[in-house]
Structure 1
Amino acid sequence: MVISMDDNTHSSQIDWQYAEECSRASCDLKELERSIDWKQGLAIALGVPLLILPSIGYFTGYVWAFSIIIWALTIFLGFFQNLAFGELATVFPKASGLPGYTQTVFGSSSNSNNKGKFKFGKFIGGFSAWSYWFGWSPVLAIYAILIGSYLKGLVPAFSGVPDTLLSLMVGALIFGSLAIINSKGLKNGAMAGYILAVVSLIPLIVITVAPFLTGDFHLANITSSWFPTDWTWDMKHILILFGIFAMAEWSACAWETAAIYGPEYKNPNTDTPKALLVCGGICLVLYVLVQTSVIGTLGVEGVLSEPISPMLPIANLTLGALGASIAIIMLVGAMLLIIQTAFLSSARSIYSMSTEGNLPAVLSKLNSHGHPMNAMIADALFNMGLILLGTPTAILAASAIGYIFANGISLYTYVKVRNDPKLSKLDRPFKAPNGWKNVAMATAILNIPFFLVGIIYLNSLELGWATTGVGFFVLCLYVPLWFYSQRETRKTEEKMAAEKEAVIV
């Protein structure tokens, strides 16, 4: 991306970056189209609160009612992190969210004068973006599999269809439909977000609030069950707690996705922080309220008897038999909204990496509406492959490793921007409170190494080492892709230099 910096200090760097972008993005449009406001960005990001659904029973099984506190603390951690990311969004308004910030800052010393040299900063920036993509992208496969399983229980005609085949059919239909809807820009995606928010968020709130009105909620179910009876504060349980926080962050901090649309907001300096803060407030209310309602109504044992879909017995209890059907429809709508959010975020991560020269140039091409369709197609194909694994829990656990890497590196990026003599002087229309770099550093350390070690340990207990192996294998795929992209960039530069010489001669 072209980054706006002080003209006197960085003009040569900007010229080179612009030349590289023009050489890589072989289309008429060199930037994503600025077509949405903060409300539309919020609508697309509203899938984030629904990421709580697959974790309600999982967290309850490990920490009982203390899971309510974990969600609340994680949302506050999200505010600490996302205020920093909101500031980065206004410092670099043309960078595409977390992937763009890290690539811009760590790759800022990369220019045409260090040909043939290993650009460590550029490599790290690209790896952070790749990790972020891997944190978001598998949401598509996870929820395509879950939608297939719910449809199988809802529609008897699907009972004879093999699970994997049904999931592939669901994935192809959803990914293809969303690609077509969004092919003309984010306006259509935002409209789809509005519709899906009504379909999913309102029923979620109704089912969550209903037990408080019907008298089925009992506070004693919470106050008498804060921790499992065998819980001790030894190293094993502390590592489990770190792992739980890592998985909670994958869900409850993911509203930073509102910042990734910085290049497409009409007024990124004001739209970005507004979308972040409002989405964070919604997440805080919903995550705490949903977990509180479920445990207070069903009790810990009731949740553990229905760990995958504890919202269904609540719907039956408070809304009658019809409630179960409504809940299933609501969950399917919620999953569609989550897929929409993840699809757009992860595709833009791929686009950002390609424009920065960290992935092959073909992925940075935009269609006539300024939409990164090639990146979206690549993302869809990757997730069709993930569906073949058939295990959403394993996919989620591996994905969380990437998300923790991305968050940690991005927070270190924020600290670097605040400390760097040149970058610290850049204009900041939105600025986090004074001393926020210390808060960012503390949360960065929480992510790497503590949460990272915790999620690896939790994976080893729950699913063995295979999940961790899958996670690190996907992360390591970045290495050959990066070196290929560097060679591609060098060839392009050499071709441009030769053409320039020919013109001069």
Structure 2
Amino acid sequence: MSKKTDASPGIDWEHGAQCAKNICDPQELERSIDWKQGLAIALGVPLLILPSIGYLTSYVWSFAIVIWGATVLLGFLQNFAFGELATVFPKASGLPGYTQTVFGSDKDKNNKGKFKFGKFIGGFSAWSYWFGWSPVLAIYAILISDYLQGMVPAIAGINSTLMALVVGGFIFGSLAIINSKGLKNGAAAGVILAAISLVPLLVITIAPFFTGDFQMANITNSWFPTDWSWDWEHILILLGLLAMAEWSAAAWETAAIYGPEYKKPNSDIPKALLVCGAICLVLYVLVQTSVIGALGVDGVLAEPISPMLPLANMALGPIGASISIIMLIGAMLLIIQTAFLSSARSIYSMSVEGNLPSFLSKLNKHGHPMNAMLADAGFNMFLILLGTPTAILAASAIGYICANGISLYTYVKVRNDPELSKLDRPFKAPRGWKKVALATTILNTPFFLIGIIYLNSLELGWATTGVGFFMLCLFIPLWVYSQRERNRMPVSSAVHREHSVFEPEPLPLEE
């Protein structure tokens, strides 16, 4: 046995491999993409800024530019840690997989006895991450429906909820079919959608700098609202805005969630993460700067939902508005594609680890988690019935913050564990990153969590926070059922589930 195998956390490799080969369900996610294809799927993340441009401007005016830049930089601090975890556990599906692998191991002292607290925490983190990503489908299906009804008079009179259900069903069904033969097709669709949406977004964003419409005075003369003060109330608002911004600007960790499907995860994952982060840093800062610089704060607040439309009209003329609507719809399709694949793999990962019912871990003949994807689509069809995108977003941000905090602590736990710390890590975060991860853990929970709860109470009342926590608590009965189901499983299947993500990664063949 190699040193890498000997350094494993007490796992019997031969038994696990024999179980996987001869007894257990041999299905695994298919390794079919490289880092460029993973990046293409994750390119929906920069477009998450679109519905939040006016929201942040309404609270902090031009300082929103600083918030976006700071949040993307925070994403680098966090995603360096996640990138390392991705190469330590190359078979785990992103943040949901890392937490479940580490906290769900029988080596964890919290997993002794009938109630395995560590396993529950790992599953809860994955569930929180899923709830942070999944509602993106419903949010943008509703927005696409609204834009279509505004563009096409013939469908303007249709009930908005019915229209959103039709649009959502068509989009979710189409993406499920496209991705049913593996992630490679999803990556190809991502490239097409990125070209449709990112290129016009860049053109509209950069145009004001060349047409003379951009005025730096619009930014420098309006950094903060006139009544802004640095008291506790405004600090809580700022923490809440950072949490909302993190939901968008730090979400490029999704590039790591496809770890089990990269051909060479040890090199593909860090590349996809770093390139996607660099793109986010440029776009988030540039878009907010261009919009405020050209329109001014008052202009943004006059069109808070879609400030890109007046920007396009100003810089490109009347045809710019039509281009913008098409661009926004393309952008929203790309966001749905990104979220759909991420959240479906979260469900699959939870089911594989025994934290959700087992039928959600079934793969089709192409190694794709179709059951998980269909369940995710069904949940979002239900969310569309709520008809309030802002409330859905605010509730899901609570889940995302919880998942980030627990996942960052997972990194600290792995670096502290005497056995896990010895596992091979082809990509390693800079020295001292354990302290950075601990600091960002505390920043997410409790500070960002308290901030988003306070901001939600000001903006939407306590109902949104109630919905968020209800969804998080819904994991408890699902988890209890899954544990009972797991206890009824044959021993061989349970062994396979415990060992699958710890199996040593075979060395890639030389090309």
Shorter-chain TM-score above 0.5: yes
Q: Distance in 1 between matches of 2:75 and 2:7?
A: 34
Give the conservation status (yes or no) of the 8 Å contact 1:61–1:304: yes
Which of 9, 28, 31 is the matching residue for 2:28? 31
Which of 93, 102, 112 is the matching residue for 2:99? 102
C-alpha change, 1:277 and 1:323, in structure 2 (3 Å) is: same
TM-score, structure 2 length as denominator?
A: 0.93
Which of 358, 361, 370 is the matching residue for 1:361? 358
Residue equivalent to 2:233: 236
1:93 aligns with 2:90: yes
Q: Which runs of 4+ in 1 moved over 3 A?
A: 4-9, 12-23, 493-497
1:347 aligns with 2:323: no
1:314 aligns with 2:315: no
Residue equivalent to 1:429: 426
Q: Distance in 1 between matches of 2:83 and 2:32?
A: 19
1:135 aligns with 2:132: yes
C-alpha change, 1:496 and 1:262, in structure 2 (3 Å) is: closer
Residue equivalent to 1:170: 167
Q: Distance in 2 between matches of 1:344 and 1:192?
A: 12
Residue equivalent to 1:255: 252
Give the conservation status (yes or no) of the 8 Å contact 1:110–1:119: no
What is the CA distance between 1:158 and its match in structure 2?
Answer: 1.0
Give the conservation status (yes or no) of the 8 Å contact 1:241–1:454: yes
1:10 aligns with 2:10: yes
Q: Distance in 2 between matches of 1:235 and 1:216?
A: 37
Give the conservation status (yes or no) of the 8 Å contact 1:208–1:290: yes
Q: Secondary structure at the match of 1:11?
A: coil
Q: Distance in 2 between matches of 1:339 and 1:21?
A: 36
What is the CA distance between 1:9 and its match in structure 2?
Answer: 5.3
Give the conservation status (yes or no) of the 8 Å contact 1:98–1:129: yes
What is the CA distance between 1:493 and its match in structure 2?
Answer: 3.5
C-alpha change, 1:53 and 1:496, in structure 2 (3 Å) is: closer
Which of 439, 442, 446 is the matching residue for 1:442? 439
C-alpha change, 1:494 and 1:94, in structure 2 (3 Å) is: closer
Q: Deviations over 1:137-193 (max 9, x none)?
A: 000000000000000000111111011000000000000000000000011000000
C-alpha change, 1:99 and 1:18, in structure 2 (3 Å) is: farther
Q: Secondary structure at the match of 1:406?
A: helix
Which of 50, 54, 57 is the matching residue for 1:53? 50
Q: Distance in 2 between matches of 1:398 and 1:160?
A: 30
Q: Distance in 1 between matches of 2:8 and 2:428?
A: 24
Residue equivalent to 1:198: 195
Percent identical across equivalent pairs? Answer: 78
1:219 aligns with 2:216: yes
Alignment of 1:301-340 (within 5 A): 301-340=298-337
Give the conservation status (yes or no) of the 8 Å contact 1:115–1:490: no
Q: Distance in 2 between matches of 1:381 and 1:471?
A: 18
Q: Deviations over 1:378-416 (max 9, x none)?
A: 000000000000000000000000000000000000000
For structure 1, which segment, 276-285 or 12-21, has the greater mean C-alpha deviation from structure 2 after superposition?
12-21
Residue equivalent to 1:181: 178
Q: What is the letter of the counterpart of residue 253 of structure 2?
A: E
Q: Distance in 2 between matches of 1:92 and 1:212?
A: 45
Q: What is the letter of the counterpart of residue 486 of structure 1?
A: Q
The alignment covers a number of residue pairs equal to: 490
What is the CA distance between 1:10 and its match in structure 2?
Answer: 2.0
Unaligned runs of 5+ in 2: 495-511
C-alpha change, 1:438 and 1:484, in structure 2 (3 Å) is: same
Q: Distance in 1 between matches of 2:258 and 2:436?
A: 24
Q: Distance in 1 between matches of 2:206 and 2:7?
A: 55
TM-score, structure 1 length as denominator?
A: 0.94
Q: Secondary structure at the match of 1:118?
A: coil
Residue equivalent to 2:372: 375
1:459 aligns with 2:480: no
Q: Secondary structure at the match of 1:10?
A: coil
Q: Secondary structure at the match of 2:490?
A: helix
Give the conservation status (yes or no) of the 8 Å contact 2:102–2:410: yes
1:276 aligns with 2:273: yes
Q: What is the letter of the counterpart of residue 343 of structure 2?
A: S
Q: Secondary structure at the match of 2:287?
A: helix
Alignment of 1:465-484 (within 5 A): 465-484=462-481
Give the conservation status (yes or no) of the 8 Å contact 1:22–1:30: no
Unaligned runs of 5+ in 1: 498-505
Q: Secondary structure at the match of 2:181?
A: coil
Q: Distance in 1 between matches of 2:263 and 2:113?
A: 39
Q: Secondary structure at the match of 1:307?
A: coil
What is the CA distance between 1:318 and its match in structure 2?
Answer: 1.0
Residue equivalent to 2:115: 118
What is the CA distance between 1:12 and its match in structure 2?
Answer: 3.6
Q: Deviations over 1:475-502 (max 9, x none)?
A: 11100000100000100136979xxxxx
Q: Distance in 2 between matches of 1:300 and 1:7?
A: 57
Q: Distance in 2 between matches of 1:15 and 1:63?
A: 58
Q: Secondary structure at the match of 1:370?
A: coil
Q: Distance in 2 between matches of 1:333 and 1:387?
A: 19
Q: Secondary structure at the match of 1:359?
A: coil
Q: What is the letter of the counterpart of residue 72 of structure 1?
A: G
C-alpha change, 1:488 and 1:226, in structure 2 (3 Å) is: same
1:265 aligns with 2:262: yes
Q: Secondary structure at the match of 1:95?
A: coil
Q: Distance in 1 between matches of 2:251 and 2:236?
A: 22
Q: Secondary structure at the match of 2:489?
A: helix
C-alpha change, 1:5 and 1:228, in structure 2 (3 Å) is: farther
For structure 1, which segment, 9-18 or 86-95, has the greater mean C-alpha deviation from structure 2 after superposition?
9-18
Q: Distance in 1 between matches of 2:327 and 2:271?
A: 27
Q: What is the letter of the counterpart of residue 11 of structure 1?
A: I
Q: What is the letter of the counterpart of residue 154 of structure 1?
A: M
Give the conservation status (yes or no) of the 8 Å contact 2:8–2:420: no
Q: Secondary structure at the match of 2:345?
A: helix
1:62 aligns with 2:62: no
Q: What is the letter of the counterpart of residue 37 of structure 2?
A: Q
Which of 138, 146, 151 is the matching residue for 2:148? 151
Q: Distance in 2 between matches of 1:356 and 1:189?
A: 25
Q: Secondary structure at the match of 1:279?
A: helix
What is the CA distance between 1:109 and its match in structure 2?
Answer: 1.9
C-alpha change, 1:464 and 1:13, in structure 2 (3 Å) is: farther
Q: Secondary structure at the match of 1:433?
A: coil
RMSD, matched Cα: 2.0
Q: Distance in 2 between matches of 1:21 and 1:44?
A: 32
Q: What is the letter of the counterpart of residue 324 of structure 1?
A: A
Q: Deviations over 1:90-137 (max 9, x none)?
A: 0000011000000000111269xx796100000000000000000000
